[in-house]
Amino acid sequence: MHLVLATEAQKAERDRVTHSAWGSPLTVEQFHQREVRLRAHPWCREGMRTWLLLDDDGRVLASCESFHNDSFLLGPDGEYAAGDSFSIASVFTEESLRGRGHASRMMDLVAAELERASPRGHAAVLFSDVGAPLYRRSGYEETPAWDWNLQPRADQSTRHVDALLKDADVPAALQRMRRPSVPFFLWPSPAQMDWHLERERIYAEMLRRPRPEACGATVGDSTALWAMMARSGELVVLMLDVRCEADATALLDAACAMARKAGLSKVVLWEEPGTMPWVARVPGAARVAREGSLPMVRPLRPGLPAAPDVPFPRALWV
């Protein structure tokens, strides 16, 4: 067995194979076109790779993708050192090939390759939809995962925010957000934020449904950014930086108002320690254990804190 980077033809073939896992409700051809468009996005062009585990005859045994993230590790001098972390996604083994350790072998080889090729490497991260045991075998450690759900109501509006944000406003909005005061964190780039909005654009077009009228809002020094998940009928908060309870309520009310107008059933926010005290006081907010998308971390160098100490906003998901 050996690891290779996929050719364009191999990527197209994997699109059709993996449709069974992630394609619904799109047709096979729509799903392929979705993948083509996402791979053409600037964030993917700069930092995405598709990996294949092949047997000695060249048959594909398993596949996955990796995406580059900027990450920051606090040093003994109290300064953050910038480095490279990598999000692993779309781990797939065809049903007839499962149960033979192919995915674990591929994950080990990918991590070794990332470590070898990245002198500034910090960590590999992933968001597991199949629980933790499979990836623990490859050195990944999970972190607790909770969501806050809000149901859109007729009395919610955008009147208490200062501004609603459009796609072009995202870089400036991200720039004004405070970064976590923790020993280690990953931080999305403006291009990664727009990748989420490109997914929204694709599904809005293919499923013929309206996009939300805004992708975020500001009030005072507080900011929220969000995106539609058309497949599940949800609005997901990608990033939230709030300075007080009133700001949290105003921003999440605005998100709910946008969701209701777009015909979405709920607003979902990933729990983070820095915002939980404010979100917990928002009227109607309900805390639930997350189903799927379990954050997991594998260090690519010594000295990283334990996975539960790493914050994971929804913007980091792939």
209 and 186: one domain? yes
140 and 150: one domain? no
Q: Give residue-wise pLDDT tens across range 63-104.
A: 999 999 999 999 999 999 999 999 999 999 999 999 999 999
43 and 90: one domain? yes
- Residue 35: pLDDT band (50, 70, 90) is very high
How many domains in the chain? 2
46 and 87: one domain? yes
Place of tokens 């047709």: 27
Q: Give residue-wise pLDDT tens across range 183-206.
A: 999 999 999 999 999 999 999 999
133 and 47: one domain? yes
What average pLDDT does this structure show over 110-125?
95
Q: Give residue-wise pLDDT tens across range 44-60.
A: 999 999 999 999 999 99
Q: Give residue-wise pLDDT tens across range 248-277.
A: 999 999 999 999 999 999 999 999 988 888
Q: Give residue-wise pLDDT tens across range 20-31.
A: 999 999 999 999
CATH number at residue 48: 3.40.630.30
131 and 229: one domain? no
17 and 77: one domain? yes
Q: What pLDDT is stored for residue 273 in this prediction? A: 87
139 and 165: one domain? no
171 and 298: one domain? no
122 and 222: one domain? no
133 and 198: one domain? no
224 and 248: one domain? yes
Q: What is the mean pLDDT of the chain?
A: 96
- Residue 136: pLDDT band (50, 70, 90) is very high
CATH number at residue 234: 3.40.630
Residue-number span of the structural domain to which 183 is assigned: 146-289
Q: What pLDDT is stored for residue 276 in this prediction? A: 87
